[in-house]
Amino acid sequence: MNIASLAPLAVLLPILGAALTFALNRNPLAQRVVSIGLLSLTLLLECLLLASVWTTGTASVTLGGWQPPFGVVMVVDQFSSLMLVVSSVISLAVLIYATGQGMADGDREAPVSIFHPTYLILVAGVSNAFLTGDLFNLYVGFEILLTASYVLMTLGGTGPRIRAGVTYVVVSVVSSVLFLIAIAMIYGATGTITMADLAIKLAELDPGTRNLLHVMLLVAFGIKAAVFPLSFWLPDSYPTAPAPVTAVFAGLLTKVGVYAMVRTETLLFPGDTLNTPLMVVALLTMLVGILGAIAQSDIKRLLSFTLVSHIGYMVFGLAMSSVAGLAAAVFYVAHHITVQTSLFLVTGLIERRGGSSSMDRLGGLAKLSPLLALLFFIPAMNLAGIPPFSGFLGKLGLLQAGIALGTPLSMTLVVGGVVTSLLTLLAIARVWNRAFWRKPEDAEYPAPVLKDSAAVGLLPRTMVGPTAALVVFGVALTVFAGPLFQLAGNSATQMLDRTAYIHSVLGGNAKVPDIAGPDTSIPPQGGGK
Amino acid sequence: MSVNLTLLIVMGVLYACGIYLILERSLTRVLLGLMLLANATNLLILATGGYAGLAPLFSKSTDPRDYNDPLPQALILTSIVISFAVTAFMLGIIYRTWALARQDDIQDDAEDRRVAKTPSFDAEDDSVVPEETSEFPVTAVTEAAKEGGPL
């Protein structure tokens, strides 16, 4: 018996936790213990899963006793287990932060009786989306996490949150409908929804039909991943939610969309038929997102725009469909989840200490709280890609892969990536100069707490602790970048090869089709598999 | 056996009405649009199941080709449950909007409007800094003259 057969527990434990915390809603202490305990257990299990696929390779679990092409399967490979571990580290840190905030505030911002069960369901949905090997089950995973996110987004039901929630819910539902339409079309065309089986059967389709299905899936996932021009909803809806909620959304939800895009591009529709449009879209996402960030004066909105912008890097890595590009993209996803979440958590602390998250109202925070300045500075430099940090390594990997590919478009993207990185530095430097370095008197409309030092609320340790831990985790990604890049490289090789995935689901006799499919005349490009 | 044209036409009409409705500004109409889209998609999934056939209850005397495909129906059931939950949540949000603002329309994002109106000129970052390159700055000379010192 393999440890990988315990994979469904990564979904079941959080759901069990949700049920327990819901039953315990009159006892906040028990709720906190149960949710943090079960999430830690899930994290432990996922680390074991990662270790197991590292040594024994891709494994699959058949659910309900139905054999693979008919029943639902869960597949654990290096990419999905890496995503699971990183996402659980993030969600555990955010959960402790939210608990600390709840204890300090008497639960005004996040009513604990609703928050804990909903949050655990969100985690279960994310794990399900990462683990599943079935297209419809992926849709169910998306719906679980989205429905939980609707509740978290509108927590408290204040005017701005309801307004933001409407946009978010409507856009998410439309993207889910598109995804469902794509699933229906795919089922109509091939008669299966198991992804490993689809990898074989989609290759037998007429190229026109295949491209249509491909585009439909990419558009549906593109909305979820916030790829330009489908990213308009994100900066509009994320900033109004409570700080821990925004942090976990920024870290995880868009990355689930990116994960689904990676699976689409590598497993279901390999080859380079849509690489050119994807690269153009990646370039536009990077530039438009970061230009939007420069125009903002609210830190949360600024970070939401940088989130959109940096999705472009991942799409760039994906669009190269080379081992180097995909490996860099996988590394970048892990790095970006950590950094973006820590920045949003720090912004929550800034809002608490400085009384606002608007740069027009902030000033002198570096003097007021040097610890806060340090906690902001490290992930901010990491995001901008300053050399020692993992952001630099991820971008370097992407740029090297882009140069190795050597087409004019990939060179343009390399330039665009460097420009975006510099503009990110500019945006982050504006936050630093205004909120941290200038005197409080220089702020346009200084928040009252900045001048009256007696009125400043202290930062609770339960909120600073998880933020600091996450910042340290971000730095650890830099220190252990070697093994992590090896892991990313392995997963990229496996994903582009597809044999391990298909064989683990359908058995060793399944025939893996050629990458390009039967009728495409485009030869694989240089640097490709 | 033939393709059920009625179902396909109904599906098309539902999609058209649904898309028209979600483009409205009134929240109730948007919700109705989303419900129509979800139901149109359910019809689409049903259509992918192929021709109508016998209920998929196993008996040894039936030819396997006579059965209807049960999988799309299971998918539809799941998608109905999900759209039911989302509809209930949207109704809650619409009620809350009504309770807060007494209106059924989608509100503008105030911060978004404010950023859009911000001029590109920022006094702190962009204003011209007066700079004097001469070794004997004019200001120093005139100030010295005011004080009556030697020029």
Hey, what amino acid is at B52? A
Higher pLDDT, B69 or A316: A316
Mean pLDDT of A352-364: 80
Residue A97's closest CA among A86, A109, A114, A84?
A109
pLDDT tens readout for residues A21-52: 888 878 888 888 898 999 999 999 999 988 88
- Examine the pLDDT at B85 and tell me if it is beyond 60: yes
List CB contacts (< 8 A) between A166 and chain B: 27, 93, 97, 106
pLDDT at residue B56, as a whole number: 77
Distance in Å, alpha carbon of A193 to nearest chain B alpha carbon: 10
ipTM of the complex: 0.84
Predicted local distance difference test score (pLDDT) of residue A524: 41
CA of A430 vs chain B CAs: smallest distance (Å): 10
Q: Taking CB atoms and an 8 Å cut-off, how many pairs form between chains A and B?
A: 88
Domain that residue B106 falls in = 5-55+68-111
> Cβ B75–A136 below 8 Å, yes or no?
yes
- When the pLDDT of each residue in chain A is averaged and rounded to a whole number, the result is 86
Per-residue pLDDT, A521: 39
Comparing CB atoms, the residue among B30, B44, B85 nearest residue A170 is B30
Q: Is the CB of A162 less than 8 angstroms away from the CB of B22?
A: no
Is the dihedral angle over the CA atoms A333, A143, A194, B37 positive or is it negative?
A: negative
The least confident of A49-53, A181-185, A368-372, B28-32 is A368-372
In this structure, of A148-162, A267-281, B86-100, B127-141, the range with the lowest mean pLDDT score is B127-141
The beta-carbon neighbor of B44 closest among A170, A181, A236 is A181
Looking at per-residue pLDDT, the higher value among B107 and A116 belongs to A116
pLDDT above 90: residue B39: yes
> Nearest-CA neighbor of A424 among A379, A468, A393, A469?
A379
**Domain count of chain B?**
1
Mean pLDDT for B73-89 is 92
Residue A131 and residue A157 in contact, taking contact as beta carbons nearer than 8 Å: no
Would the pLDDT of B146 be above 70?
no
Does the residue B28 lie in any domain?
Answer: yes
HSE (side-chain half, CA atoms, 13 Å) at A429: 10
Shortest CB distance from B109 goes to which of A162, A181, A236?
A236
Predicted pLDDT at B34: 93
The residue-averaged pLDDT of A514-524 equals 47
Residues A445-499 have pLDDT tens digits of 777 666 655 555 567 788 888 899 999 998 998 888 888 888 898 888 888 888 8
Give the separation between CA A241 and CA A394, rounded to whole angstroms. 29
Task: Name every chain A residue with its beta carbon within 8 A of the beta carbon of B22.
Answer: 170, 174
Q: How many residues does chain A have?
A: 529
* Tokens at B146, concatenated: 């005011």
Specify if B129 maps to a domain. Answer: no
Residue B49 in domain? yes
Q: Is the peptide bond before B137 cis (omega within 30 degrees of 0)?
A: no
Q: What is the mean pLDDT of residues B120-130?
A: 66
Q: Does B103 touch chain A (CB under 8 A)?
A: no
Does residue B14 lie in a domain region? yes
Banded pLDDT at A363 (limits 50, 70, 90):
confident
Indicate the pLDDT class of residue A114, thresholds 50, 70 and 90.
confident
Q: What is the mean pLDDT of residues A515-519?
A: 48
pLDDT per residue over A300-331, tens digit each? 999 999 999 999 999 999 998 888 889 999 99
pTM of the model: 0.88
Subunit contact B78:A157, Cβ cutoff 8 A = no
Between positions 387 and 426 of A, the ones with CB within 8 A of B are: none
Q: How many CB atoms lie within 10 A of CB A28?
A: 17
- The secondary structure of B98-136, three-state, reads HHHHCCCECCCCHHHHHHHHCCCCCHHHHCCCCCCCCCC
B48 in any annotated domain: yes
For A233-256, what is each residue's pLDDT tens digit? 888 888 888 888 999 999 899 999
For A300, name the nearest residue in chain B, comparing CA atoms only: B111
Q: Is the pLDDT of residue B28 over 80?
A: yes
Residue A337: pLDDT band with limits 50, 70, 90 = very high
Query: Is B100 within a domain?
Result: yes
Give the best residue of A66, A170, A240, A433 to mutate against chain B (max B CB count within 10 A): A170
| Residue B136 in domain | no
CATH of residue B25? 1.10.287.3510
Compute the Cα dihedral for B46, B49, B51, B57 and give only its sign: negative
Tell me if B90 is assigned to some domain.
yes
pLDDT over 90 (residue A60): no
The residue-averaged pLDDT of A55-59 equals 84
Provide the token pair at A502.
């298909």
The average pLDDT across A260-272 equals 88
pLDDT of residue A70: 82
Please name the amino acid found at residue B64: P
